[in-house]
């Protein structure tokens, strides 16, 4: 199903073998790494850890469900519906067997059952939707009274802690640093990027009650993402050619523990545990 374009990190680091980082758990990494590039794996596993503090009851709506891997790990055993605008991703989501229903469509126009879902998860998907107000209106319509939406969204300046951009600013090339950051946001198709005040303004336009607004994902995860970004471009290229991130999940599965230790080393070297990368916004539909 999901598979591996390249095999990386096959040696176990001899240094810091016993180090741990609470943002990423081995159990998640071992499931994610066979099917995703290391850079993406770091971000997704950190989000899984952040989400685990909440009791997400089914039925669950997964907005921008992608290939279904995140939901399969996060919500095993619960009724999940997925929606994605990308036909290729919807096919992988169907193949994942994570969902009881898959909807191919635009969340701003989708006809979802009214007051049906207990939970909605939007895992870094809403920032890509130009009509974000329409997306939030659809989500509100589909949630039961008292139901909750868990939204991972990027902080406006999520990339400024990357070492390359920091180095450019230190040598007086702030303009080039800003340009590279803008190119990254364009590469990742970010239609919406706000600071806390900006995201609160978006959410305050909705009928939802903001229940929590938590900074999540440390600067260290951004730097570790940066460290593995170049080798992970092979996975991005493979996805463009084959619609999958990786081609040999079995081989990657055998190297997952070693890759996890390299990832922990990268997080340790990055060091900065301040939560600067994303927000986890919890919205509640009023009764």
pTM, full prediction: 0.89
For the segment 9-24, what is each residue's pLDDT rounded down to a tens digit? 334 344 333 344 589 9
Query: How many whole angstroms separate alpha carbon 107 and alpha carbon 127?
Result: 13
Task: Report which of 93, 41, 38, 39 is spatially closest to residue 64, judged by C-alpha positions.
Answer: 93
Sign of CA dihedral 11, 17, 21, 23: positive
Q: Detail the DSSP E strand segments found in 37-110.
A: 60-63, 80-84, 101-104
Residue 132's pLDDT is what?
A: 98
Which residues pair with residue 275 across a beta bridge? Answer: 218
Calculate ∠ Cα 63-89-53, nearest 5°. Answer: 40
Provide the residue-wise pLDDT of the chain in tens; the chain has 287 residues.
333 333 233 343 443 333 445 899 999 999 999 999 999 999 999 999 999 999 999 999 999 999 999 999 999 999 999 999 998 888 888 888 889 999 999 999 999 999 999 999 999 999 999 999 999 999 999 999 999 999 999 999 999 999 999 999 999 999 999 999 999 898 888 999 999 999 999 999 999 999 999 999 999 999 999 999 988 988 888 888 888 889 899 999 999 999 999 999 999 999 999 999 999 999 999 98
Residue 21's pLDDT is what?
A: 58
Query: How many whole angstroms separate alpha carbon 150 and alpha carbon 284?
Result: 9
For the segment 93-142, what is each residue's pLDDT rounded down to a tens digit? 888 888 999 999 999 999 999 999 999 999 999 999 999 999 999 999 99
DSSP-assigned letters across all residues of 261-274: HHHHHHHHHH---S
The separation between the first and the last C-alpha atoms of the chain, rounded to the nearest angstrom, is 41
Alpha helices in 55-98 (DSSP H): 69-74, 87-96
Q: Which residue matches tokens 């998907």? A: 125
CATH of domain 3-158+193-284: 3.40.50.150
Sign of CA dihedral 97, 99, 100, 101: negative
């Amino acid at each position: 199903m999901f598979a591996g374009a390249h095999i990386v990190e096959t040696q176990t680091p001899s240094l810091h073998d016993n180090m741990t980082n609470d943002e990423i758990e081995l159990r998640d990494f071992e499931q994610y790494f066979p099917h995703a590039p290391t850079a993406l794996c770091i971000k997704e596993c950190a989000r899984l850890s952040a989400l685990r503090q909440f009791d997400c009851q089914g039925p669950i709506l997964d907005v921008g469900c992608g290939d279904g891997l995140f939901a399969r790990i996060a919500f095993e055993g619960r009724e999940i519906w997925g929606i994605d605008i990308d036909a290729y991703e919807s096919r992988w989501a169907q193949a994942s067997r994570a969902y009881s229903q898959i909807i191919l469509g635009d969340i701003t126009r989708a006809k979802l059952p009214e007051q049906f879902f207990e939970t909605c998860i939007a895992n870094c998907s809403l920032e890509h939707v130009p009509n974000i107000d329409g997306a939030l209106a659809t989500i509100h319509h589909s949630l039961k009274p008292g139901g909750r939406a868990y939204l991972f969204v990027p902080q406006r300046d999520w990339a400024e802690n990357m070492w390359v951009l920091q180095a450019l600013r230190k040598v007086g090339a702030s303009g080039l640093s800003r340009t590279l950051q803008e190119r990254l946001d364009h590469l990742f198709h970010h239609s919406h990027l706000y600071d806390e005040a900006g995201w609160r303004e978006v959410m305050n336009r909705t009928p939802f009650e903001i229940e929590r607004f938590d900074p999540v994902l440390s600067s260290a995860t951004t730097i570790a993402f940066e460290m593995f970004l170049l080798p992970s471009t092979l996975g991005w290229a493979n996805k463009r050619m084959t619609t999958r991130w990786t081609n040999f999940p079995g081989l990657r599965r055998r190297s997952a523990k070693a890759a996890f230790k390299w990832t922990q080393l990268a997080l340790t070297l990055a060091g900065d545990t301040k939560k600067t990368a994303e927000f986890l916004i919890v919205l509640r539909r009023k009764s």
